[in-house]
Amino acid sequence: MKPFSVAEIKKAIFMIRGQRVMLDSDLATLYGVTTKRLNEQVRRNASRFPADFMFQLDEEEAGSLRSQIATSNKGRGGRRYLPYVFTEQGIAMLSSVLHSERAIQVNIAIMRVFVELREMLSAHRELAAKLELLENRIESHDEQIHAIFEAIRQLMTPAAPPRKKIGFELKEPKAGYGNE
């Protein structure tokens, strides 16, 4: 029986329908059983696996996943049925239907990976919020800097000298000189 690694588990987690899930075939490999046996145990205990714990992929999702992980096509020795995927809760439930020491160890490792992924996601959200705050500050600083440069340009441009008036200037005659 081949040992499993955390890196192997991380590579086997996919985002489908907005949820982190693992394929039945990947889980079967980790548990050291066949996919047929894993799905058989799930069918025997169907009441333990509601739709939010596991679901079957549709043709489009399976095709997309097939191209991502390079699995064989249906007509060339591949699966005859669309694969099932298990959410974190469904994976936790698998340990109750697969009774082996390996199943327990694999489940513990998988749960730790899911916790690590949640922590990383939380850290990314905090970082994203800080970046957004920084962007907003920079935008307001940009406006202020633009205003400062505009003021400097106005100070550097000398004011135009006053222009002389064109034409004749009429002066009022002084009182007492011939206009009486």
CATH code for position 28: 3.10.260
| Residue 151: inside a domain | no
Identify whether 168 is part of a domain. Answer: no
- Angle of the 88-97 helix axis to the 35-44 helix axis, nearest 10: 90
Q: How many domains does the chain have?
A: 1
Kindly state whether residue 15 falls inside one of the protein's structural domains.
yes
Domain that holds residue 38: 6-124
With respect to residue 134, please indicate whether it lies within any of the assigned structural domains: no
CA distance 172 to 113: 99
Please tell me the pTM assigned to this model.
0.59
Question: Using a CB cutoff of 8 Å and minimum separation of 24, what contacts does 120-123 make?
Answer: none
The Cβ-side half-sphere exposure at 138, using a 13 Å CA radius, reads 6
Please report, to the nearest 10 degrees, the dihedral formed by the alpha carbons of residues 59, 60, 61, 62 taken in order.
50
- Per-residue pLDDT tens digits of the chain, which is 180 residues long: 556 677 788 888 888 888 889 999 999 988 888 999 999 999 999 999 999 999 999 888 888 777 666 554 454 445 778 899 999 889 888 877 887 778 878 888 888 888 888 888 777 777 777 778 877 777 777 777 878 878 877 777 777 777 777 877 777 776 665 555
Question: Is 176 domain-assigned?
Answer: no
